[in-house]
Structure 1
Amino acid sequence: MKKKLRQTVDSPFIIAIGASAGGMEAIHLLFDHTPEDGVAYVIIQHLSPDHKSFMAELLEKHSKLKISIAENEMFVEVNQVYLMPQGKNMTIKNRRLFLSDIKPLQRNTSIDIFFDSLAESHKGKSIGIILSGTGSDGTKGIAAIKRNGGFVIVQDPVSAKFDGMPSSAIDSGNVDVILRPDLIPEEIITHLKGDILKNRFSDQIDDKNEEVLLKILGLVEKRTPLDFSDYKRPTIIRRITLRMAKNKVATLEDYVDFLETNPAEIGILSKEFLISVTKFFRDTEAFEVIKDKVIPEIVDNKLQVDALKVWVVGCATGEEAYSLAILILERLTELKKNLEVKIFASDIDKTALLQASKGLYPKSIANDVCADRLNKFFVKQGDHYKIKDNIRKMLIFADHDIVKQPPYGRIDLISCRNLLIYINTILQRKILTSLHFCLNLGGYLVLGPSESLGDLRKSFDEVNKKWRIFRSNEVVRNFRDTTYSTPGLERQLVNQSQNPAPQKNTQKSNLGELTKRSLLEVSGYEAAIWVDTDFKILQAFGDFEKYLLPKIFNYNLIEMLPEELSIAASTTIRKSVKNKKEATILEVRFKRNDAIHSVNVLARPFLAEPGFGQTIILILFCDSKVKTVKGREIENFGMETHTSQHLEDLKGELAEAKQKLNEANEALEVSNDNISSYNEELISSNEEMQSVNEELQSVNEELQTVNNEYS
């Protein structure tokens, strides 16, 4: 029997379950495994207003909890399940349910409506669950829950009768866990335990706990390039305790031991610390102010020869950066003005940056981007939308740590929204000073709604109080708060020093000895040729020339052999490497010098042979028949069969080459972005050094004057 969990009576968790078509079975499975856990459940279903629902009667057979049909202003009690009545929409505030009539012919968004109100009312005490259903209702609602610190669980689409709602939710990137319905109750209990654990540490964060926390953060910094030591403790504790609960670890000391013995957990924990929640035109009113006041002011004051520079700090998966690019392009198009636009979008989350650089987003962005903009700035690709090249080329995505790396210089607009709320006051000031330093006079700074300028207020004019938009009223000549480096370049140098490039292989491994050893095991072969997996000839022994075409030697074995023998050698080599064992083809017939020759081919792979660091293959040729050896794979050559196999092999290689080429292109694009980013950092650092140099020159002149006076 599961132990009951005691939640705070004043603020229990409220769990909202959204379901539509096929959701009844999922709900029953979920409540078959749900104990009394000190929380309240609210079920929001898409119900027909014309037919009586029997949901309450049916659910009573599967639930240990009391079932109630919601009534207007009903108070929500723990260990109860509340069902939304048909023909109504429902919201919640201060643990009271409020009902309103569904408007006729209106799209059903009852799940979004309730989830949004739950997020606003209960913040981190809200859990949203999306079960089977068609459409995308609930996708916007879980985004609200995530923004307010809640937890989101979605039914595994494979287990759902209708996967529309679960898939849409997953595509939004706002999902914590994906599970079958019967496994969801256990995940809820784990989350509740984590909250109890978090509250305990939040209330009693003594010196000992702080010391252990620093050990955990030290392990993260040692294994990753990320330093979270200056993040606010509640944020760090919340993320750590969730992972502790997930791994069934009771104390911080035990979690340190767990991290040391499970290095993979360090990577998972560091990703938990990186909070990447964003969407296109997030906070619509804020973007309207930027569109109507900020961007026109910047664009209108630029000459054709000028560059317009924007910096999005903590860009996550790129939606905000692309949103700004769209607004800028719209303004430039309206004025028929051609400006060079550089939008630097930076983050320390490499996974998010990689997604951002691809510019590929789920179809659910149609909820945030109007149809006109979708048509103008996106290309439909299956169930996704891809940013058009004219927008993508405006952006430079970069792995940039604003705390450790130099800021970009001469920026017209900086967006740094909802980053400062996670870090302490000292680091906030450091970042704000850095941002102020790189802004042009009259440049704009956009912060999150809950963030402020602190003691830098006098350096900015307030443009919009609600959406925290400010305009710089002074230029900072120098910046002494920190010494910067360029970690991207530093890491490359460190890696090179720790892993120096291997010296050119001199092939000390004696291929001759390996050949002799192989020939002792098989008899009758007259020629031996060593190749690598690309068929490049490494060395040849014996009477090999009689099997090669009379052409200029080019080191590619397949191109040096007659057609039939080339096909046989190619398929045999590939087969031996794939199966990691010897392969033989008999009686390969080909015509040469008006005579028909019959040749046997044997391929023997040597996997990552010492001294080579790669797989090498020994190919043996002979004119006479080879005795069959037990355990050796032998087949007779058939021109049609082996040609077909050869073509299949080539198709596979071509597909693999295309995939590698795409990966290389993506890596090159990321590399180019980083190079551009480093270049801007160096320019900014150079400008700072020039400023300091001017000051030193001035001081030197003063000292020289004083010295002359005393001479």
Structure 2
Amino acid sequence: MSEPREPNGEFESVLTYLKESRGFDFTGYKRSSLMRRVRRRMSQVEIDSYADYIDQLQVNADEFVALFNTILINVTGFFRDPDAWDHLRGQVLPALLAERSPEEPIRVWSAGCAAGQEAYSLAMLFADALGIEAFRQRVKIYATDVDDEALAQARHAAYTPAEVDGLSEAQLEQFFELQGSRYCFRKDLRRSVIFGRNDLVQDAPISRIDLLVCRNTLMYFNAETQTKILERFHFALAPRGVLFLGKAEMLLSHSRIFEPMDLKRRVFRKAVNAPVSFNHFVSHGFPQRRTQEISGIEELREHAFSASPVAQIVFTEGETTALINSQAEVAFGLSDRDIGRPLRDLDVSYRPVALRAYVEQARLERRSLRIKDVEWRRAGETVWYEVHVNPLVNKDKTLLGVSVVFHDVSWARQLLTELEHTNRQLESAYEELQSTNEELETTNEELQSTVEELETTNEELQSTNEELETMNEELQSTNDELQTINDALRERSLDLDEVNEFLESVLTSIRAGIVVIDAEMRIKAWNRGAEDLWGVRREEAEGTHLLNLDIGLPVAEVRPVVREALSDATYYGELTLDAINRRGRAAVVRLLCSPLRGPNGDSHGALLMMEETKTEAPE
């Protein structure tokens, strides 16, 4: 098939149609690779022009899936590029965890997760570093992709042996469960991995991320789109958050917002004071704000600030009070008269917390501070705050002032108090259980005394037993007479043993699998040939219902033949079956079935002879 002859404008119409009809915006992708993949799909459906292909998309909804699978090539694997992952395990994770308290949650984002191997690799990494219990309590891994089909596979978390080939036996044993022929990631750890659809170009980024992994995804986008995505990543990362890219990607042109930690392995840290425009994080479907066209904007901002549901005070660079909202006035007894006064002259400077030191630190270090567990007693009640002190910096990195926000977390403290009360109740219950256990131990000692009494009784019974032995001697003479009769019966039994040994040698000598069943299909005989064919020992098979044996024999085809042989003493059946032999390989088995006739000619069982005629080679 010849290549499409239409100009690139026709190709752009395909991208426009995909965006308008399905919401997929591929306009930021590199045109050369994008056109190559679209042409590949068009050649598969034998269409030459882009216009005809748009018609095909309009009439065939399934074609969208095939096209997206062609464009969104999901090449991934567990711990892909091991050297970089080893560096992440040995250097980056220990430093990241050391910067956070043992109780602080950890948020991870795997952007472009494909079928989930990257997200589960991160889960294994953090579970090894923190321990299983701490991992479940602290870590949340957000795994996103635009490919819904890949996300569905990732949510199932089931992989073939080829897909887990790079993992060690210890990792497979610790983190996976073998279900059938697939390895499934542990369900208790799977709950910490959250999958969702996210378009890096259009959708808003996930925020407060400690570690962001986006490997070999940016290379599909053009330079302008890469810049927008990287600025979104900068917004998504928490202060000193880490960005982990693929070896095919570089950040040399974005050093203003990311600092290299290990350039060779593509590990970067967020540059805290880098200016990033917020409008890059908004979908292009929304226009930018144009404040000059809105009348009364300053009054609107003033009322919005005043109506904020949390108490907030803003100080200038010289620590002069500039703004106080309504919540702060009510909470701390402030008013408009306090605007313009220095922070040191306000009661709020030292209660509910020594605020001046934190404001000074935020002002000098240009970084946000968080003060937890601040207690404030007012009007006979106790209020708990979490205070956020944030420096206000303009685009030129000039300090404008400091904002202090008082978040009321009394409800959280109340829940914590109730939790502590519940824990005390549990401790009390545990003490009661401990007391009950001690009582049971006392009861056990009493039972031990009872056992000793029973031993005494046993001695008395022993004396009685001696008397019974005397009676036993008298019975012995009677037993001698019975022994004579028993000897005669034993001779008869020896004759039967010789017959059984002869039959056993016959069954053992036959190389084919011989199975004898009774009228209820219970196995009476199972020779060595059957053991070799199906891998089931004679002791395991005999006495078992034939159809209950899970040996790879297709019972649905065998059942009617066996039942015919049990009901018709003249029946003779032959089948060729596709089965699974003891080595787990496909095999062709020839089965002969005939009734087992008794002295009166009736069928009281069946005889099955099975022989493997062909073994198929594995694929």
Structure 1 and Structure 2 fold alike (TM over 0.5): no
TM-score by length of 1: 0.39
TM-score by length of 2: 0.44
Q: Which gives a bigger RCO, structure 1 or 2 (Cα 8 Å, sep 6+)?
A: 1
Mark the structure with the bigger radius of gyration: 2
